[in-house]
Structure formats: C-alpha cells, structure tokens
Amino acid sequence: MKHVKTLTGAVLNNSLKKGGCGECQTSCQSACKTSCTVGNQTCENSN
C-alpha cells in the first residue's frame, strides 16, 4: 500500500484463540517490582 506500512497486524484477536496457558513469566519477576509492565513480556506458547 502506498499510504500505510503495517508494523504489526491483528495480533490480539488471534491470541484469543490460543492464549491463556500461563507459562509466560510473571511481569514483576522480570525487573520492575514497582510498576506493572505487561506489553514487553513474551508469549511462550509456540503452538
């Protein structure tokens, strides 16, 4: 497309289908301890 470059598509809709396994890291265990930071966590469900 000429007027738009898509950085990422509809990832949230898709994640509704397979999400929720809970194997990912708890956000507060990564670094923060004083602020909730979820968007930078990585999904561990490769299926």
Partner 1 sequence: MIHQYKMKDMNIVLDINSGAVHIVDNMLYDIIEKLEIGQSLLEISQSMANVYIEEDIDEAFEEVNKLIQEKQLFTSNRYHSVVDTFKQRETVVKALCLHIAHDCNLSCGYCFAEEGEYHGDRSMMSLEVGREAVDFLLNNSGSRKNLEIDFFGGEPLMNFDVVKGIVEYAKNKEAEYHKNFRFTITTNGVLLTDEIIHFINENMYNVVLSIDGRKEVHDLMRPTPNGKGSYDLILPKLLQVAESRNQKNYYVRGTFTHNNLDFANDVLHLADLGFKQISVEPVVAPDNRAYALKEEDLPTLFEQYDYLAEKMLHYREEGKEFNFFHFMIDLKQGPCVSKRMTGCGAGSEYLAVTPEGDLYPCHQFVGIEDKKMGSVYGGLKRMDIQAEFKACNLFSKEACTSCWAKFYCGGGCNANAYNFFGDIHQVYPMACELEKKRVECAIYLKARETFRI
- Residues 19-38, interacting with partner 1 (CB under 8 A): 19-38
Task: Collapse the DSSP code of 21 into the 3-class scheme (helix H, G, I; strand E, B; otherwise coil) and give the result.
Answer: coil
Q: Minimum Å distance from CB 14 to partner 1?
A: 9
Interface with partner 1 includes 16 (CB under 8 A)?
yes
Interface with partner 1 includes 39 (CB under 8 A)?
yes
Interface with partner 1 includes 47 (CB under 8 A)?
no
- AA letter at 37: T
Query: Which of 21, 11, 15, 14 minimizes the C-alpha distance to 44?
Result: 21
How many angstroms separate the first and last alpha carbons of the chain? 31
* Site residues, partner 1 (CB under 8 A): 1-13, 15-16, 18-45
